[in-house]
Amino acid sequence: MDPNTNTRAEFTQGMLNNPMPDNASREWRSMVVNSKELFRLLAAHPGMQPNMRQAYMTPAAIKSKVYFMWDFVGRTLNFAYSVLPTLRNLNRGQSACWDDVLSRSALTATLILDLTPGMLDQLVEGTHPGRTGELPFGQRAVMGNDIKEAARKLMQR
């Protein structure tokens, strides 16, 4: 796919359609399945829709918490697919990458579940100061229970 012409919706569908390797370990499979479900839910969130129609490389129309997490989870999935799905005999680089997948997944759950209150708001505002397109704190789009439940599953191994 061409990130300059293909939309975020097309990239999302491509990631969701990545095949599950037959030799995937239980841990790898669980992490990828749970991450894909969260990625799908974030992409379907109403707050993400203006961004989904844009080319992947186009600056997001709305740099919201939902967009921030969609991007973060999508990148984490890319990292997971760069690691041998058996999780056996990983070289140093792949081992470090898998550790990063686990750390990013834990952070994803922490941010979405607001386990450190306000941390996601601070990260979004710090990344895009004054340009988030979101309503003021307390009035922003809410991530529903479906997204929160999917995030909780990232903490299970």
User: What is the model's pTM?
Assistant: 0.90
Q: Which amino acid is at 57?
A: M
pLDDT at 1 (0 to 100): 87
pLDDT at 13: 97
Q: Are 98 and 83 in contact (CB under 8 A)?
A: yes
Contacts 24+ apart (CB under 8 A), 123-130: 123/68, 124/63, 124/64, 124/65, 124/68, 127/63, 127/68, 128/63
Per residue in 41-78, pLDDT (tens digit) is: 999 998 899 999 999 999 988 888 899 999 999 999 99
Check pLDDT > 90 for residue 30. yes
Tokens of 41: 């839910």
Q: List the chain domain ranges.
A: 8-153
In the predicted model, what is the mean pLDDT of residues 9-21?
Answer: 96
Least confident piece of the model among 1-5, 38-42, 116-120, 152-156: 116-120
Q: Please, what is the average pLDDT of the chain?
A: 90
Q: Which helix (H) or strand (E) holds 146?
A: helix 145-153
The closest alpha carbon to 21, from 93, 87, 70, belongs to 87
**pLDDT of 128 over the 80 cut:** no
